């Protein structure tokens, strides 16, 4: 009996030791990942600031000092100043209440979205989560199965018929796609089941023919995307916080963040501002490919886009901030291409329209232990 108790005690102690080692290793890995992301954020901000200062001159010394003070005294660390420098340079002044992108990722997202925000990576859940006709989803590849948006399994030998019943092209988005990477245009003439399996888990969507205004302004094949950023307050009330229109360049079939052109959109009217921005945040007044000015144009059916975003976000207010990538089709219909509830990125809207979240108290949040 005593021998049995000794064995049980030894096993329990061994398990406790293993748990301690596992938790210690997990903490070390998380700390290393935080340092990696922190370094990348600082390098990205420094690169943008360098281009801005080369084009327009150095950041005002007074604004830089105020950014430094806000980063340390309000946000808690000097590393948060780097994106504030960029915001101040773009805005032409310092503004209280900005949320730097690295502070958002490190301190805000864990409290406001957590694991629920990562549901946006599971693209096949769109119809389950939102039940919204504005999503152009046709089918999803999930765990080796093909699922229709009605939740029913599509036999592999019927997949091509389902995908191409309305068009000779569809879009596939991998569950891990981001910034244009992992997006594939599939065509009826060269589609086969083996290729579909090789793409892995993800979402098949209708190929959207964009509104003629977007076609004229962008003058490129990529569908222009309206990014609406919505946020929910403590009472679950959802409101629009940022809006801009993203255009492609070149001959690519879809947007790629490295070459996109952004035009700020008025939150009330949907009108495009006179100033647009390159990926470097350098300012332009017209699309470099079409040479048409941004001023004098409005997003078609902007109210319909906004209503769809607010309605869908109201179904998941506990994901506190969502970036909606939308477009308007050739018939004026609203199309929700995807939603981003995890690392949805707020730096462009903060730089050009911010502070966008000053009333929500996010600057008081801190990284979870």
pLDDT in tens, 59-107: 999 999 999 999 999 999 999 999 999 999 999 999 999 999 999 999 9
C-alpha 109 chain-centroid distance: 13
Q: What is the pLDDT of residue 22?
A: 53
pLDDT at 122 over 50: yes
What is the per-residue pLDDT across 163-210, written as a single tens digit (0 to 9) for each? 999 999 999 999 876 666 788 889 999 898 888 888 999 999 999 999
Is residue 273 within 8 Å of residue 264, measured between CB atoms? yes
Polymer length in residues for the chain: 369
Residues 6+ apart with CB under 8 A from 146: 139, 140, 153, 154, 155, 156, 159, 196
Residue 159 clears pLDDT 50, i.e. is over it = yes
Q: What is the pLDDT of residues 50-67, one digit of tens each?
A: 999 999 999 999 999 999
Residues of the chain with pLDDT > 90, as a percent, come to: 77
* Percent above pLDDT 70 for the chain: 89
Q: Is 173 exposed, middle or buried (0-12, 13-18, 19+ CB in 10 A)?
A: buried
Average pLDDT for the chain = 91
Q: Give the per-residue pLDDT at 319.
A: 97
Burial of 25 (0-12, 13-18, 19+ CB in 10 A): exposed
Q: Is the pTM of this model over 0.75?
A: yes
Q: Where are the beta strands (DSSP E) in the chain?
A: 137-142, 145-148, 169-178, 181-187, 202-206, 225-232, 238-247, 261-265, 272-277, 283-284, 321-328, 334-340
pLDDT in tens, 265-306: 999 999 999 999 999 999 999 999 999 999 999 999 999 999
- The SS3 of residue 288 is coil
pLDDT at 9 over 70: no
Task: Convert the pLDDT of each residue in 201-253 to its tens digit.
Answer: 999 999 999 999 999 999 999 999 999 999 999 999 999 999 999 999 988 87
- Rounded-to-integer distance, Cα 128 and Cα 192, Å: 28
> What pLDDT sits at residue 115?
93
pLDDT band, very low/low/confident/very high, at 15 (cuts 50, 70, 90): low
């Amino acid at each position: 009996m005593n021998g049995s108790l000794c064995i049980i005690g030894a096993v329990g102690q061994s398990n406790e030791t293993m748990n301690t080692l596992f938790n210690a290793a997990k903490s070390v890995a998380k700390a290393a990942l935080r340092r990696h992301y922190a370094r990348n954020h600082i390098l990205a901000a420094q690169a943008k600031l360098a281009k801005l200062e080369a084009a327009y001159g150095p950041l005002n010394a007074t604004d830089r000092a105020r950014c430094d003070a806000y980063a340390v005294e309000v946000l808690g660390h000097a590393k948060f100043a780097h994106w504030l420098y960029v915001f101040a340079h773009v805005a032409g002044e310092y503004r209280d209440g900005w949320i730097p992108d690295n502070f958002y990722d490190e301190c805000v997202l864990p409290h406001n979205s957590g694991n629920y925000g990562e549901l946006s990576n599971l693209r096949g859940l769109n119809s389950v989560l939102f039940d919204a006709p504005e999503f152009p989803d046709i089918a999803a590849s999930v765990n080796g199965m093909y699922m229709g948006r009605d939740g029913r399994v599509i036999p592999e030998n019927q997949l091509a018929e389902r995908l191409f019943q309305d068009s000779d092209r569809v879009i596939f988005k991998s569950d891990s796609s981001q910034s244009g990477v992992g997006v594939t245009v599939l065509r009826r003439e060269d589609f086969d089941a083996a290729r579909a399996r090789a793409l892995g888990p993800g979402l098949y969507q209708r190929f959207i023919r964009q509104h003629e205004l977007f076609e004229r302004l962008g003058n490129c094949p990529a569908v222009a995307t309206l990014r609406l950023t919505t946020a929910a307050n403590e009472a679950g009330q959802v409101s629009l916080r940022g809006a801009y229109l993203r255009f492609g360049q070149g001959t690519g079939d879809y947007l790629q963040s490295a070459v996109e052109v952004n035009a700020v959109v008025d939150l009330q009217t949907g009108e495009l501002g006179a100033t647009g921005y390159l990926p470097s945040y350098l300012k332009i007044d017209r699309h470099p490919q079409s040479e048409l000015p941004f001023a004098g144009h409005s997003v078609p059916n902007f109210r319909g886009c906004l209503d769809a975003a607010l309605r869908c976000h109201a179904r998941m207010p506990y994901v506190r901030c969502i970036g909606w990538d939308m477009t308007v089709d050739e018939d004026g219909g609203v199309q929700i291409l995807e939603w981003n509830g995890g690392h949805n990125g707020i730096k462009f809207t903060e730089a050009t329209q911010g502070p966008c979240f000053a009333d929500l108290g996010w600057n008081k949040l801190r990284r979870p232990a």
